[in-house]
Chain A
Amino acid sequence: MLTQDFTNATATSATEPSLLFPFVLQLADTSLILAHRLSEWCGHGPILEQDLAMANIALDLLGEARSYYQYAAELEGKGRTEDDLAYLRSAVEYRNPLLVEQPNGDFAHTVVRQFLFDNYHYHLLKALKDGPDTHLAGIAEKSFKEAAYHLKWSSEWIIRLGDGTAESWQRLDKAIAALWRFAGELTTPAPAETALQEIGVVPDYATLLPAMQAYAAQVLAEATVPEPTAVFAQQGGKIGRHSEHLGYLLSELQYMQRTYPGMTW
């Protein structure tokens, strides 16, 4: 429950900062890890135009991650910076859902991962931008426009690959089979989220699901691929229990800061 002691609250937020901090950090980690994965494509995309498109999405997500980290640092109030939060936390401290840390695979895997994320992200931001925490709402407002574009991009690619050639259909189907099990975690609240849902700062995810599911069904139908049923939903990322992939990703991401501690770049 929300305490009535606001002495630690910042000017922009009426929500208990210690409640908000882990959630904002989760949003930051999520955007950063996905941006990092997308940036791995840079220079290796299927065609130059799509290299530019994926880099644009990565840059949007990186910008969002920075806004969230800066806000998280402010909420925490311990003098940590955005870079301290991104570069000096271990894998078990990272709060991103499992989906976004999954490797790029082939283009179909990247597109499916992006589509699952965008569909969730779009609907989450739509609610958050009207939320009571003004700082968070501000970031969500800006990110929402970006997410709308990302969702358009990934939806159209799902449709192109599904309703393209026999090979692209098969690859898409395979990617869906591999990644759909990570979708459930996105809308399953972790304790940090439940606490905020109880006080109305974060939307009840059950209210987002109908629109998300309807949209996914429509896109998959257009792509002529069957929607997976009875998928076991993997959980854990949001409480720091990650797949093996995250450790490698972080060892690359954090290489410089870990090798040369305390320097300015």
Chain B
Amino acid sequence: MTQQEWPLWEVFIRSKQGLDHKHVGSLHAADAAMAVQNARDVYTRRLEGVSIWVVESKHIHASNPDDAEAFFDPAADKVYRHPTFYEVPDSIKHM
């Protein structure tokens, strides 16, 4: 039997309550339960987290860098989406 490698998983950790889960790296595990435990053993040895997500790497779909201009540049000229675009009279508070 040819040895097959354990699948690769991406690990996301919430460092403290109230924050988003953040990508911290990856690891190998045979199944999801093991991936969570391995993530705990590998990525939280110094109290780095309070919650763990894992997702098998093959399930991640990413945007293509070649599309980056078409994807992201159009947002660059929409300054009206930002609050600083608007002038508010000094006498108006709390806006």
A122-177 contacts to B (CB < 8 Å): 152-153, 156, 160
Report chain B residues within 8 Å CB of A56. 41, 45
- Judging by beta carbons under 8 Å apart, are B33 and A156 in contact? yes
Distance, CA A47 to CA B41, complexed state (A): 13
For the complex, give the distance between the alpha carbons of A49 and B5 in Å: 13
Residues of A within 8 A of B29 (CB): 49
Contact-residue size bin, chain A (C-beta under 8 Å from the other chain): 10 to 19
By the criterion of a CB under 8 Å from any partner CB, how many residues of chain B are at the interface? 12
A53–B45 CB distance below 8 A: no
Secondary structure class of chain A's binding surface, majority of residues? helix
Flag B1-31 by CB within 8 Å of A: 1 or 0 each. Answer: 0000010000000000000000000011110
A52, B42: Cβ atoms closer than 8 Å:
yes
Bound Cα distance A48, B33 (Å): 17
Q: Are B41 and A52 in contact (CB under 8 A)?
A: yes
Given the complex, which residues of B lie within 8 Å of A153, measured CB to CB?
A: 37
B13 CB → nearest A CB, Å = 15
A114 → chain B closest CB, angstroms: 14
Contact of A49 with B45 in the complex, beta carbons under 8 Å: no
Chain A contacts for B30, CB-based, 8 A:
160
Q: Which residue of B lies closest to A57 (CB)?
A: B41
Report the Cα distance A156→B50, complex, angstroms. Answer: 22
* Minimum CB–CB distance for B40 against chain A, Å: 8
Contact A53 B6 (CB under 8 A): no
Assess whether B51 is interfacial by the CB under 8 Å rule: no
- Residues from 101 to 122 in A contacting B, C-beta threshold 8 Å: none
Q: Please give the residue numbers on chain B whose beta carbons come within 8 Å of chain A beta carbons, in ascending order.
A: 6, 27-30, 33-34, 37-38, 41-42, 45
Can you list 24 contacts pairing A with B, beta carbon distance less than 8 Å?
Answer: A47-B6, A47-B28, A48-B28, A49-B27, A49-B28, A49-B29, A49-B38, A49-B41, A49-B42, A52-B38, A52-B41, A52-B42, A52-B45, A53-B37, A53-B38, A53-B41, A56-B41, A56-B45, A152-B37, A153-B37, A156-B33, A156-B34, A156-B37, A160-B30
Known: A49-B41, A53-B37, A153-B37. 7 other contacts (CB 8 A): A47-B28, A49-B42, A52-B45, A53-B38, A56-B41, A56-B45, A152-B37
